[in-house]
Amino acid sequence: MALRTIRIQGDPVLTKKCREITEITPKIRELAEDMLDTSYEANGVRLAGPQGGVLKRIVVIDIPDEKNNLLVLVNPYIKSHTEELAEFEEGCLSLKGLYEKVSRPDGVTVCAQDLDGKPFEIEATGLLAVCLQHELDHLDGTVFIDHLSRLKKDRAKTKLRKLRKNDKQA
């Protein structure tokens, strides 16, 4: 087991577009395992490549619902989404301590490959739909506060700076 350092807001790696994974090598499998271990260790349930410092299109999610438990998504993309929006309070291991309400499509259909390179599709609503969209955003250099209005985003950034300052003092 190898833990990776979770990149935090301000790290340029979080603003870059990730590359497609062209071949699922043992190294990619190892990366997926590391990402899961890192996510569990941080009491998170999800992580995207750039958060582990790797600019590759891979996401791990562990949110139990009726159909899916542990999800490893290689080269995921949103095939379709509902017109209806839903608002959820989101947080992120890269913006630790910050929680903001974000509005996103209520349901999504996501296509991806598994660790054997086999394509699969997930239809999700609710929390899983939020997580999928949040994590897929990371692959294109977007974090959840990027969805907020300018004013709210500025406020969120100020909050984050205060949180970090307190962390350092603690």
What residues form DSSP beta bridges with 103?
A: 87
- Single-letter code of the amino acid located at 136: L
CB of 94 to Ni ion, least distance (A): 5
135 tagged catalytic: yes
* Residue closer to Ni ion (CB basis): 92 or 102: 92
Nearer to Ni ion, 24 or 130 (CB): 130
User: Bridge partners of 113?
Assistant: 74, 119
CB of 25 to Ni ion, least distance (A): 25
Assess contact for 92 and 8: CB atoms under 8 A.
Answer: no
Which residue out of 41, 66, 90, 135 is catalytically annotated? 135
**Tokens 């947080």, located at residue:** 91
Checking phi first, is residue 15 left (phi over 0); if not, alpha (psi -120 to 50) or beta?
alpha
Minimum distance of Ni ion from residue 159's CB (angstroms): 16
Shortest distance in whole angstroms from residue 92 CB to Ni ion: 3
CB atoms under 10 Å from CB of 27, counted, come to 10
User: How far is the C-alpha of 70 from the C-alpha of 84, rounded, in Å?
Assistant: 27
Smaller CB distance to Ni ion: residue 92 or 136?
A: 92
* Residues contributing to the site for Ni ion (CB under 5 A): 92
**Of 146 and 154, which CB lies nearer to Ni ion in the complex structure?**
146
Task: Name the residue whose CB lies closest to Ni ion.
Answer: 92
Just list the catalytic residues: 135
